[in-house]
Structure 1
Amino acid sequence: MSVVTLTQDETGAAGSAPEATAPHEVTVPEPTTPTPPRSLTSVRPSVPPERLLADLVPPRHFAQARFGTYRADPAHPSQASTLARLQEFAGEVTARPAGGLRALLGRRRPVPAVYMDGGFGVGKTHLLTSLTHAVTAEAGPGSAAYGTFVEYTNLVGALGFLPTVEALATRKLVCIDEFELDDPGDTVLMSRLLRELADRGVALAATSNTLPDALGEGRFAAEDFLREIQALASRFEVLRVDGEDYRHRAVVTDSEALDADVVAAAAGARPGAVLDSFDDLLAHLATVHPSRYGALLDGVELLALTDVHPVTRQEVALRLVVLVDRLYDRDVPVLLGGVVGGDRQHLFTPEMLAGGYRKKYYRALSRLGALAEEGRRLTAA
């Protein structure tokens, strides 16, 4: 707003001297402009350990997931058989004693444990979150914990190993989604954590992904999983979930990118949107611990990015993968403006897609493709 000072200069009656008058102020409103969307790079989240524990629940994307809402593909009978087995498994978990009695009986009553193996988008996370909801509904709040492999390793980093064991040992069931085998140190850590929990009578459920080009090779991921958790391998029942990616969408690298002005305009018109340069966001992610990426997205309803381009550095790409997972968990659509698009460009390099972290990258592409499609739908609307 601007303030304009006006002074009265009229003379008084004829023949008299001018009368002194006090100046008075008139406020003149300026044209209003829309408030630009805020940027993720301005957010510095602080996450106490208590929140990390409280967040071990199914994410918003799967808040309504239930066994009854899972649609098994008739073309792949393993989906229906896995669904039926998990419904039985939920009953076995809730029937187990709790607390000290469970610990006393743990060695005499085998701890139930299941592992779901399959490709991307076949519904493993839907089934795992449905299992979590089923146990919680029957045994009460706090009876089951759900988190990704990364969230559990972050929890150990924040609390320490033994405090994490003590906190999770109070649960009847601990679910680990996207069990990762690409980091030897983290794999050993998680194997030890699962062994400690199983020894205390906690039931376990886990998932991992088989690469698309390995689906015909049998239980490719399951063999790796069982090898890495040697001490627990005999306790896990492997459930194969066959099928194709239900999202049935081209990955983001096969989509035409949006113009920067379209991205900015869409972000400016939507409440809760954030607008960032791709490079600025990637640089900011390096300053935030991955355990805080969820908090980084608090209140965000749309992520709009400009100047999106292929990522060539592995450490940068891995941070982006974690962000995509948190975006997907929270159903946050994305708008991508830049050069990523068409058959010539890829968000991740061919070397990355063929390397040791390829499962992470394929999962991120599948999920980001779905979020980008939702962003396009919002823009079109």
Structure 2
Amino acid sequence: MTERLIDRKPVIPADQLVAQMVPPPMFNDVSFDSYIPDPKEPSQSQAVQTASEFASEVAKRKKGKRGLFGRKSKSTTGSGLYLDGGFGVGKTHLLASIYHAAPEPKAFGTFVELTHVVGVLGFMKAVDELASHSVLCIDEFELDDPGDTMLVSRLLTELSARGVSIAATSNTLPGQLGEGRFAAQDFLREIRKLASVFETVRVDGPDYRHRDLPPAPEPTDPAELEKRAAETPDATLDDFDELCEHLSKLHPSRYGKLVEGVSAVFLDNVGPADDQAVALRFVVLADRLYDSSIPVIVSGARLDEIFTEEMLAGGYRKKYLRATSRLLALSRFGAAAHSNT
């Protein structure tokens, strides 16, 4: 019988939370040299140069400078780099390249993983665990509520003061994070404080995942879906609504562990997400599937029909569009794999 994701209940021990903060598998071997800038988008070449210079500066700060009597003194404050741009322009590639070029210890994680680390370890323990790092790389820097914003703002302020450099990616400029969602003055003040940490670099260009590609693959017949899942080693097969319910019982930081070792994800009866909370959890799952290059094959609705027009018109529009971009890439991956069998 084909395994189901809903039967998995992954647990990450607290003492491994920081140690597991590394780039996802698809970015294990990337570098600044392997990033191929689009000649039509000069901002991409500039971003590579700036990111490379930032990584070099991180190494210098970590090494410290020889001062009076030959003593070493580490830089008292860390630097910050913020890579802003649309979907599929290679921001995560550059962020992972910064990580690989920086000296140990170092950490790489998504925004939601970082908030989970702080939640489990406690604020000061998290600061102590990360304070010796040369750089903290934060992917998908998107703020969903004022509490997380203030928490991360305070964390980055503490780490920067201890000499940790911060690199981050998102699809929204730091001064605009949270726009369209919260209007509280305290929240806006925290946003501005956070923005001052970063030097912002724009990365323009079309989404490389969909250049000259056909529309999303049509859903598979349910009987064929079950047959393909059974014939695919290490694949999982789940009902879409049941999986969404299971996700509600797991912290999003565990979603990566949830799909660990899975070769392909088959989803039956896919349809529009029934509310915002369900949709946002599925966004995180889509990110973790994409990180591990796991094909997604579905029956029911197409993967570009999960997020409703109403959702796409709201404050999480960019998050949903990014997830759709990644899901379509994974669905084409699944379709291509099937055509080659």
Displacement after TM superposition at 1:229 (Å): 4.1
1:82 aligns with 2:82: no
Instruction: Please name the residue that 2:284 is paired with.
Output: 322
Instruction: Please name the residue that 1:21 is paired with.
Output: none
Instruction: Please name the residue that 1:246 is paired with.
Output: 208
Return the match for 1:277 from 239, 251, 265: 239
Deviates more, 1:73-82 or 1:48-57: 48-57
1:153 aligns with 2:115: yes
Displacement after TM superposition at 1:122 (Å): 0.6
The Cα offsets for residues 34-87 of structure 1, whole Å up to 9 and x where unpaired, read as: xx2111111111211223212211100111111111010010100001101111
Separation in 1, partners of 2:215, 2:274: 14
Separation in 1, partners of 2:27, 2:338: 24
Instruction: Please name the residue that 1:56 is paired with.
Output: 21
Separation in 2, partners of 1:184, 1:294: 25
Separation in 1, partners of 2:120, 2:212: 37
The Cα offsets for residues 9-44 of structure 1, whole Å up to 9 and x where unpaired, read as: xxxxxxxxxxxxxxxxxxxxxxxxxxx211111111
Instruction: Please name the residue that 2:260 is paired with.
Output: 298
Separation in 1, partners of 2:213, 2:12: 32
1:195 aligns with 2:119: no
How does 1:256-267 map onto structure 2 within 5 Å? Answer: 256-267=218-229
Instruction: Please name the residue that 1:118 is paired with.
Output: 85
Task: Please give the root-mean-square deviation of Cα atoms over the aligned residues, in Å.
Answer: 2.4
Separation in 1, partners of 2:62, 2:334: 46
Is this contact kept in 2: 1:273–1:302, CA < 8 A? yes
Displacement after TM superposition at 1:231 (Å): 3.3
Displacement after TM superposition at 1:204 (Å): 0.8
Instruction: Please name the residue that 2:310 is paired with.
Output: 351
1:364 aligns with 2:329: no
Separation in 1, partners of 2:282, 2:326: 12
Instruction: Please name the residue that 1:208 is paired with.
Output: 170
TM-score, normalised via structure 1 length: 0.80
The Cα offsets for residues 320-357 of structure 1, whole Å up to 9 and x where unpaired, read as: 1111111111111111111337xxx7211111111112
The Cα offsets for residues 157-186 of structure 1, whole Å up to 9 and x where unpaired, read as: 111111111111110001111111332211
The Cα offsets for residues 282-322 of structure 1, whole Å up to 9 and x where unpaired, read as: 11111222121111112211101111111121111111111
The Cα offsets for residues 133-163 of structure 1, whole Å up to 9 and x where unpaired, read as: 111xxx2xx4221111111011111111111
Deviates more, 1:176-185 or 1:149-158: 176-185
Separation in 1, partners of 2:285, 2:214: 15
Distance 1:159 1:171, change over 3 A: same
Distance 1:294 1:232, change over 3 A: closer
Distance 1:267 1:240, change over 3 A: same
Separation in 1, partners of 2:72, 2:299: 54
Bigger Rg, which one: 1
1:96 aligns with 2:65: no
Instruction: Please name the residue that 1:224 is paired with.
Output: 176
Is this contact kept in 2: 1:312–1:348, CA < 8 A? no
Deviates more, 1:77-86 or 1:283-292: 283-292
Distance 1:361 1:280, change over 3 A: same
1:175 aligns with 2:156: no
Is this contact kept in 2: 1:103–1:200, CA < 8 A? no
Unaligned regions of 5+ residues in structure 1, if any?
1-35, 211-220
User: How many residues in Structure 1 have an aligned counterpart in Structure 2?
Assistant: 325
Separation in 2, partners of 1:200, 1:176: 17
Distance 1:103 1:279, change over 3 A: farther
Separation in 1, partners of 2:205, 2:167: 20
TM-score, normalised via structure 2 length: 0.89
Sequence identity (%):
50
Separation in 2, partners of 1:378, 1:49: 37
The Cα offsets for residues 230-271 of structure 1, whole Å up to 9 and x where unpaired, read as: 335444211010111010169998441111122111111111
1:130 aligns with 2:97: yes
Distance 1:189 1:69, change over 3 A: same
Is this contact kept in 1: 2:217–2:335, CA < 8 A? no
Q: Which amino acid aligns with 1:360?
A: K
Separation in 2, partners of 1:241, 1:149: 20
Separation in 2, partners of 1:48, 1:172: 24
